[in-house]
């Protein structure tokens, strides 16, 4: 039985008066591992930003875990269990790895200073070796891992990742793929990944959505992600 975790119903959203997303309908089930594909500028980031509340909907609604969250501010959505790992990672470069991780507690609404859960270092052993280093001194791939770890700190039900492999060396791309699979399978966290690399998406996800010009044009199991679809909507 699949239980819906996140539902976008007829979502229209954009920047100011300019709509970018048009009547988007999507249902993501609990435990799903989903990739959202599409060429540059079609609205993938805007879709994730709308889910976390950084873009207001001009039409439609969002239901998360049986709650209508359409009007909730971003911090409240984070507390209810939506973690957002933005494109370009956005860790704080002058803070240590440890302090960057602790920001994850803030997102969860916890005021107490707690210890970093050991499982964070099980998923990301590299972080343990670099705890006192400035975040900005890590490699791009390590910064991405730090950003994912920080998202994991608030015990999310769903993680939204925006192009986590962009500009990252292949060996770390593989590590990130393996870790996301573990987070999904071992912790049961639902994962939505925006991706441009088709092979990565095929290996990682069970289901796909393809966007073009702010609308969902195709969806299905990644096993059915045909070359025709790739040529029509994804290759440049």
Which residues make up the interface to ligand ATP (CB under 6 A)?
15, 20, 38, 40-46, 87
CB of 56 to ligand ATP, least distance (A): 13
Q: How far is CA 34 from CA 128, 219, 229, in A?
A: 29, 10, 17
| Nearest 10 degrees: Cα torsion 16, 17, 22, 25 | 50
Structural contact between residues 100 and 70, judged by C-beta atoms closer than 8 angstroms: no
Output the six-digit token pair for 29: 């089930």
**Distance separating alpha carbons of residues 230 and 236, to the nearest angstrom:** 10
We find the least distance from the C-beta atom of residue 83 to ligand ATP, in angstroms, to be 18
- Partner residues linked to 82 by β-bridges: 158
165 contributes a contact to Mg ion by CB under 5 A = no
Taking the least distance from each CB to ligand ATP, the nearer of 44 and 77 is: 44
Q: Distance between CA atoms of 192 and 158, rounded to whole angstroms? A: 8
Residue closer to ligand ATP by CB (options 50, 100) is 50
Smallest distance, Å, CB 86 to Mg ion?
9
Q: Which is nearer to ligand ATP, 153 or 216 (CB)?
A: 216
Identify which of residues 46 and 222 has a Cβ nearer to Mg ion in the complex: 46
Q: Which is nearer to ligand ATP, 22 or 80 (CB)?
A: 22
Binding partner selected for residue 15 from Mg ion, ligand ATP, none, CB under the kind-specific 5 to 8 Å limit: ligand ATP
How many angstroms separate the CA atoms of 6 and 95, rounded? 33
Q: Which of 198, 200, 205 is nearest to 222 (CA)?
A: 205
Q: How far apart are CA 218 and CA 168, in angstroms?
A: 28
Q: How far is the CB of 232 from Mg ion (least distance, A)?
A: 20
Whichever of 19 and 117 has its CB closer to ligand ATP, that residue is 19
Helix axes 140-152, 170-187, angle to 10 degrees: 10
The yes or no reply on residue 46 touching Mg ion (CB under 5 A) is no
45 lies in the binding site for Mg ion (CB under 5 A):
yes
| Residue 46 interacting partner from Mg ion, ligand ATP, none (CB closer than 5 to 8 Å by kind) | ligand ATP
Binding partner selected for residue 144 from Mg ion, ligand ATP, none, CB under the kind-specific 5 to 8 Å limit: none
Question: Could you tell which of ligand ATP, Mg ion, none binds residue 23, using a CB distance below 5 to 8 A set by kind?
Answer: none
Q: Collapsing DSSP states into helix, strand and coil, what is residue 141? A: helix
- Binding positions for Mg ion, rule: CB under 5 A: 44-45, 87
């Amino acid at each position: 039985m699949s239980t819906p975790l996140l539902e976008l119903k007829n979502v229209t959203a954009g920047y100011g008066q300019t709509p970018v997303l048009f009547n988007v309908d999507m249902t993501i089930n609990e435990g799903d591992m989903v990739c959202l594909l599409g060429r540059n500028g079609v609205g993938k980031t805007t879709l994730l930003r709308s889910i976390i509340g950084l873009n207001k909907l001009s039409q439609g609604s969002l239901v998360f875990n049986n709650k209508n969250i359409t009007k909730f501010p971003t911090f409240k959505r984070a507390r209810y269990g939506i973690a957002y790992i933005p494109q370009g990672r956005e860790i704080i470069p002058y803070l240590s790895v440890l302090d960057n991780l602790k920001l994850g507690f803030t997102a969860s609404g916890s005021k107490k200073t707690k210890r970093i859960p050991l499982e964070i270092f099980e998923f990301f052993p590299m972080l343990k070796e670099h705890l006192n280093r400035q975040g900005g001194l890590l490699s791009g791939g390590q910064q991405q891992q730090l950003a994912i770890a920080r998202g994991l700190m608030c015990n999310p039900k769903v993680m939204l990742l925006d192009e986590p492999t962009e500009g990252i060396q292949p060996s770390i791309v593989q590590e990130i793929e393996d870790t996301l699979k573990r987070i999904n399978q071992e912790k049961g966290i639902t994962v939505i990944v925006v991706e441009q690399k088709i092979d990565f998406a095929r290996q990682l996800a069970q289901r796909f959505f393809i966007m073009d010009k702010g609308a969902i044009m195709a969806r299905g199991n990644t096993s059915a992600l045909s070359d025709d679809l790739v040529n029509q909507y994804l290759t440049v």
